[in-house]
Amino acid sequence: MFPSPMGIQRIIGMGGIGESLLLVSFCGLCTFLTGISLSAIATNGAMKGGGPYYLIGRALGPEVGVSIGLCFFLGNAVAGALYVLGAVETFLKALPSAGIFTETTTKVNGTVSEPIKSISTHDLQIYGIVVTIILCIIVFGGVKMINRVAPAFLVPVLFSVFCIFIGVFLAKKDDLESGVTGLSLESFKDNWSSDYQNTNSAGIPDAEGKVHWNFNALVGLFFPAVTGIMAGSNRSASLKDTQRSIPIGTLAATLATTGLYLVSVFLFGAVATRDKLLTDRLLTATIAWPFPAIIHIGIILSTLGAALQSLTGAPRLLAAIANDDILPVLNYFKVGDGSEPNIATLFTSIICMGCVIIGNLDLITPTVTMFFLLCYTGVNLSCFLLDLLDAPSWRPRWKFHHWSLSLLGASLCIVIMFLISWSFTVVSLALASLIYYYVSIKGKAGDWGDGFKSAYFQLALRSLRSLGANQVHPKNWYPIPLIFCRPWGKLPENVPCHPKLADFANCMKKKGRGMSIFVNILDGDYHERAEDAKAACKQLDTYINYKNCEGVAEIVVAPNMTEGFRGIVQTMGLGNLKPNIVVMRYPEIWRRENLKEIPARFVGIINDCIVANKAVVIVKGLDEWPNEYQRQYGTIDLYWIVRDGGLMLLLSQLLLTKESFESCKIQVFCIAEEDSDAEGLKVDVKKFLYDLRMQAEVIVITIKSWDVQTEGGSQQDESLEAFTAAQQRVAGYLAEIKAAAEKEGTPLMADGKPVVVNEQQAEKFLYTTLKLNSTILRYSRMAAVVLVSLPPPPVSHPAYCYMEYMDLLVENVPRLLMVRGYRRDVVTLFT
């Protein structure tokens, strides 16, 4: 293939033999390394239609695959126009009388007596459209027709190459005025060094020309001549044995053409003067044996064959992208197995004709080059990633590859892109990025087992090993909530989780960073309910994605809820990536629904968390928890009763990072035994908060002020009413279990366990809870959210009584978090 009929001549004339050899070697090395990467990926399993798109997409993911694949499609469509214009230009040069419009006459540097005639752009456009239509008719005929006409393109091209080389050796040496010197050492020396000149828009040397040539520009001119390495992979769906045909065909073609170009540089650099190289656009025909017409035919058929390859490969590439069903907008181009992509072919033809109408080869060439180089970069990076990761599934039959070669190939592609034109490079990368962004937003999710997923997996394993088993330092501590979705089992069967629980889980993360584990427990036998568990897990995962929460879904089948949770809290997670906070909603409905099993389950969960050293956060008022669009005002009040490692303080700070709570202020309430201790405690707490870089108002409450009997107010009336009702229920419950124990002659039993409790002890717990509740109602009735320390269940105490204490604590508080930390700090005094 030739970048234009002038091709090699202009490269040697401008860059000289030395730089031309460097240029050909540079571009040949890039395509050879890409061919090695292509061979490795193509022999790693069955390869379907789509060629490089299929390879890149399965290695780097659907987003990267579609973005590079569409760019490569455009490159092939535009390349078709490039080759058509090259064929038409050669035809009109060989047969000037076929021109419809007047040719443009240009003098070489304005001084040479013999002017150079340039072909009219309108002729290029008219003939180009006609040729494109003819080629499209052939393509519409299908692969069989293309295979029939392929020898008609190949054989004359091979014969014309033979005639060119024969002509070089037989060129006359005594006709110096024509510029053809024959194989001459003098010409070789004269043409060795570079001589970059300005040219006009027609490519004719002109000192006042606006087109300046340098090595970078020659790279852009020449590189389309080596872009045919993907021709075989583009037709992968039509190949009988892709794992054999693609490596052998691609690498053989790359080595053969690169060698042919290197030999051509030596021969043409020694057979003609520099002026002849720059002005004779068909020097190959001038020196060919036995007459120029053979070369005209060869060049025309060569470029038409390349155009046919582009118009054949591009529609199949577009159809392969559409068939993967990633972008709905491409559904029009889908085709069935064994069918021809007629709609895609029509669309490709329209693009090709549009570029033909432009009629400017030098404008089209850099555009084509960028799209091809972008594809080659993707192929090299795909092989680099797969080779570097070396997953068990990476077993290519082509053994001559290494990740370093692929990385070098990708680097060369990027270097060549910027050498040609940094502006075209930026535009092509921006186009690919826009397509990538569009696919990630509008595209359908697809899991192709790409290399990035393997990289994430290996990175996760290495990170997990590097974390070790030791406790994480407070500076590196992240909340990993275990969201218990249905602990009380009163949600409808088709609702996998409370709608607001994911909103609360997001509030426990700073800027969305962190992971939540959503768990549900199905009662029953695992063998019988395995399929139910899979369906429930899928439903819960859908809920998590809908709520835009970073988390994973887990479903456990167990004989009962208690046993299931006990297994989860012991085994969930790996190493230091185990959940450290158990989050669940408060069972506000247990008494109303007469759920007698709830108290024992509630206490059991808390005790299991204490034994497993897990923090606990219980949310009361979850139905009213705000989402990200509901802005809250007022305060976030903390009732810091016991030391919890700073978890309550950290949660309040995390709440402030959310839009819904960012307008709130934090108030910390502390308890002092005596009025004399209040001021000192306030100073100490302020100093502690300052060292933690936390801003909060500190309020100290003395125990004496808790004496509700001496104070009035509606909040005390409400608390006393709830207190009286709780007293009666607890007394009745204790009397009931005592009567049962006396009747059966057994120790005092509750929930199947022996308990030790009396009315005075229960009264004391109720009264303490009453004082705390009345204080919360007094100071925090209008707070956006209240955080209070969760008291542990008393040892050998009935679960029913503990549930009554908790009910009294949360009575009439609309939104409350009960927090229990664990035996370590989660905040640090030092940065």
Specify the pairing of strand 581-585 against strand 615-620: parallel
Place of tokens 């409350």: 816
Structure tokens, 531: 């399929």
Query: pLDDT category, 473, cuts 50, 70, 90?
Result: low
Q: Which CATH number fits domain 476-620: 3.30.70.60, 3.40.50.620, 3.40.50.1820, 3.90.105.10?
A: 3.40.50.620
pLDDT (0 to 100) of residue 515: 81
pLDDT (0 to 100) of residue 113: 43
Q: At what angle do helices 62-94 and 52-60 cross, to 10 degrees?
A: 160
Tell me which H or E stretch contains 55.
Answer: helix 52-60
Those residues with Cβ within 8 angstroms of residue 206's Cβ, 6 or more apart along the chain or in another chain:
106, 108, 109, 110, 198, 199, 200
pLDDT (0 to 100) of residue 203: 67
Q: Is the pLDDT of residue 303 over 70?
A: yes
Q: Is the pLDDT of residue 165 over 80?
A: yes
Torsion angle in degrees (nearest 10) through CA of 445, 539, 497, 525: -140
Query: pLDDT category, 129, cuts 50, 70, 90?
Result: very high
3-state secondary structure of 88: helix
pLDDT for 687-740, tens place per residue? 887 777 778 888 888 766 655 443 445 555 667 888 888 888 888 888 888 888
pLDDT for 666-680, tens place per residue? 898 887 766 667 788
In this structure, of 33-37, 208-212, 378-382, 450-454, the range with the lowest mean pLDDT score is 450-454
pLDDT (0 to 100) of residue 180: 86
DSSP assignment of 1-45, as one string?
A: --SSSSTHHHHHHHHHHHHHHHHHHHHHHHHHHHHHHHHHHHTSS
pLDDT for 762-820, tens place per residue? 888 888 888 888 888 888 888 999 999 888 888 878 888 888 889 888 888 889 999 98
Query: What percent of the chain lies above the pLDDT cut of 70?
Result: 88
Given CA atoms 194, 200, 206, 211 in this order, what sign does their dihedral have? negative
pLDDT for 566-612, tens place per residue? 999 888 887 777 888 899 999 888 877 777 888 888 999 999 998 98
pLDDT (0 to 100) of residue 831: 36
Beta carbons of 41 and 272 less than 8 angstroms apart: no
Those residues with Cβ within 8 angstroms of residue 790's Cβ, 6 or more apart along the chain or in another chain:
606, 616, 618, 818, 819, 820
Q: Which CATH number fits domain 7-442: 3.40.50.300, 1.20.1740.10, 1.10.287.470, 1.10.40.30?
A: 1.20.1740.10
pLDDT for 12-47, tens place per residue? 989 999 999 999 999 999 999 999 998 898 888 767
Beta carbons of 93 and 281 less than 8 angstroms apart: yes
Structure tokens, 69: 């694949």
pLDDT for 631-674, tens place per residue? 888 899 998 776 666 788 888 888 888 888 888 898 988 877 66
Looking at residue 827, what DSSP letter applies? S
pLDDT (0 to 100) of residue 5: 38
In this structure, of 26-40, 219-233, 245-259, the range with the lowest mean pLDDT score is 219-233
At 114, the amino acid letter reads E
In this structure, of 84-88, 262-266, 281-285, 568-572, the range with the lowest mean pLDDT score is 281-285
Beta carbons of 99 and 92 less than 8 angstroms apart: yes
- Residue 746 to residue 289: CA distance in whole angstroms: 118
Q: Is the pLDDT of residue 540 over 80?
A: yes
Those residues with Cβ within 8 angstroms of residue 267's Cβ, 6 or more apart along the chain or in another chain:
165, 168, 183
pLDDT (0 to 100) of residue 18: 93
What are the beta bridge partners of residue 702?
672
Structure tokens, 382: 């795909």
Mean predicted confidence (pLDDT) in 450-471: 74
Domain residue spans in the chain? Answer: 7-442, 476-620, 635-708+715-830
pLDDT (0 to 100) of residue 161: 86
Q: What is the mean pLDDT of the chain?
A: 82
pLDDT (0 to 100) of residue 408: 95
Query: What percent of the chain lies above the pLDDT cut of 90?
Result: 16
- Residue 51 to residue 205: CA distance in whole angstroms: 41
Query: pLDDT category, 265, cuts 50, 70, 90?
Result: very high
In terms of C-beta density within 10 A (0-12 exposed, 13-18 middle, 19 or more buried), how is residue 267 classed?
A: buried
Mean predicted confidence (pLDDT) in 444-467: 73
Q: Is the pLDDT of residue 825 over 60?
A: no
Query: Of 229, 227, 199, 234, whose CA–CA distance to 213 is shortest?
Result: 199
Residue 213 C-beta-side C-alpha neighbours within 13 Å: 29
pLDDT (0 to 100) of residue 474: 64
Mean predicted confidence (pLDDT) in 811-830: 72
Higher pLDDT residue, 560 or 679?
A: 560
- Residue 323 to residue 328: CA distance in whole angstroms: 10
Sequence-separated contacts (24+) of 227-230 with Cβ below 8 Å: 227/1, 227/31, 227/79, 227/368, 227/369, 227/372, 228/1, 228/253, 228/257, 228/306, 228/309, 229/31, 229/34, 229/35, 229/38, 229/253, 229/254, 230/38, 230/51, 230/52, 230/72, 230/313, 230/372, 230/375
